[in-house]
Chains A and B, each alone.
Chain A
Amino acid sequence: MFQNKIKEVLLTIRGFNEKIILVARGEIPTQPSLIYNEKVKEEGKVRKEGNRFKIMSLAFVLMASVSLAAAQDSSRSPQETLSASPVFTGFITQSNIFSEHGEKHIFDANPVLLIPVGKEGLFLTEWELGYGVRRENGTVEKEFEYELEYLQFDQPFSKRFTGVFGKFLTPGMWNERLHPSWIKKTPDAPFTAGLLPGSGTGLMLRGALPLSSTVNLTYSPFFTVATENKYLSSKRMTGGRIGTFFKKEGIDLGFLAARLLENERTNIYGVDLTYQLRDSALDLRSEYYRSYDGSAYWTEVAKLFKNGPWFIKRRLELAARFEQSFVSAADHREAEAEERDHGHNDENEMEEEKDDHHGEEPEVHSEEGGHHGVFPEADTDRFVGTVNYYFRDGFKLYLSFGREILPGANKQKNVWNFGLAFRFLK
């Protein structure tokens, strides 16, 4: 599967290169490249040529606009001092997960590109590439995945508003700030991350207003459109987060509200709290989300040792997180109705209805799901304890133990997770 994925990516690049060559020669083709189409047919896959060219065209226009803006501003301000330069950064994670069901070894790479535009604008993009090997019940599965995390252009319009255009991460404490592997205290994404779409394509206005010398008000209303494009996939949604940051006390309190404007048209509400006791290097964080699928919360405490021998001081950190998820009653009723319609005797149907968590034995939910997280199919309690060791900022080794309990099904699972997270900056 991994080799097929590589072939697929290479064929896409080759087909696009052929197109460019033909255009440069003036031989504008009236039909897509025959060589590329034959290869596609051999692979047995169906491509939507129109959508791909639209996306490529959009990317070129975006790059052209960015370059034009940069060129104009460079010409306007030759008296400025040193100009900002592009930055290639990102992080790499290698994690190893062990449980009673088996083991999984994952290698993730998240390259990030930052390109300054004009005086204060910024074009940025992040990709997530993941390769995993799972060994479970005697079988071995290999999987390669890639995903566009965000592709956006930030431009401040005034002191109080910055426009964000493109695909961006939806507002939220975990989603926006804590999800990178080199930042988060515990390796698993919380249950709340599965209740809100992690990203969307559209427009967001971000900003902050000083209410006083020690209190800031932050806001980030957004609107995203519905698109089924593979890279820019998005749901039609609107909402925003408003927060108050008490700078001196180290308290950040935020409220999120969002509404899905397609299908069921449901609402999502959230509250997040961060309290940092700087003197004792103790971080307390908590988040609560509620949506149509249910609700969940997590509470985390992390302690960084500020004193001690050199190999402990500002290197060793202990973190613990407890969280619970509650599947909505509506989901329970739907599952019961489905079971009544399908009957109890057909074993094949019972296997297919993996989302039916009433009457079936629900599985303890998977620990993966990327940084966007997975909302469990059944009510779940989870405790995770982690030891982080920082060789330096952005380079850490972690060891984590997690215990998941399904109270309704009387099932539990122990999960051991250890790995490395490394942030590079060039």
Chain B
Amino acid sequence: MRKHTAFLVVATMLFFASVALSQNIQKTALPVPTQIKQISAVDGDTVWKQQCSRCHLAPGAISKAKMMTVNRHMRDVAQLTYEDYQALKEFLER
């Protein structure tokens, strides 16, 4: 029981320390580069039609920050290649 408690205390301290540390980092948005570097030769619109529409229709508009997170989830669910994922990111997050 004491081992569990000590473990819990250390883990909790680690958690709050990391949260505090992350809060100190400035998170204001920087200007988006006017020229987006094309990583992939694949067209993002094509990736959307070929991969995403397999399961669902186009979702409603969401913020770019949330879209970045959703894309990570969809990358793993749909098992996108690295190239397809980068193209989709460029297409959806611009």
| Chain A residues in the interface with B (C-beta under 8 A) | 19-20, 23, 28-32, 49-50, 53-54, 56-57, 60-61, 63-64, 67-68, 70-71, 74-75, 78-87, 89, 114-116, 120-122, 124, 154, 159-160, 162, 164, 176-178, 182-183, 206-210, 213, 216, 218, 220, 243, 247-248, 250, 252, 274, 276, 278, 314, 390, 392-394, 425
Contact = CB atoms under 8 A, between A and B. Distances in A.
Interface residues of B, number: 55
Contact of B66 (A49, A56, A87, A278): A87
Given A81-B32, A210-B81, A220-B79, A50 B54 contact: no
30 contacts: A28-B2, A30-B2, A56-B8, A64-B14, A70-B18, A70-B22, A71-B18, A71-B25, A74-B22, A74-B25, A75-B21, A75-B25, A83-B27, A84-B68, A114-B70, A116-B72, A122-B72, A159-B81, A176-B77, A177-B77, A177-B78, A183-B55, A207-B79, A210-B84, A216-B79, A243-B79, A250-B50, A314-B57, A392-B60, A425-B60
A84 B79 CA distance: 20
A390 B29 contact: no
B76 to A, nearest CB: 5
Contact of B65 (A74, A84, A247): A84
Contacts of B83: 210
B9 interface: yes
Nearest to B73: A114
A344 B13 CA distance: 64
A394 B56 contact: yes
A278 B50 CA distance: 9
Contact of B79 (A71, A120, A208): A208
B4 interface: yes
B91 interface: no
B73 A122 contact: yes
Contacts, number: 167
A178 B75 CA distance: 16
B69 A85 contact: yes
A83 B73 contact: no
B80 A208 contact: yes
A159 B82 contact: yes
A393 B56 contact: yes
Contacts of B8: 23, 53, 56-57, 60
A31 to B, nearest CB: 7
A182 B62 CA distance: 18
B30 A81 contact: yes
A403 B11 CA distance: 53
A390 B51 CA distance: 20
Nearest to B31: A81
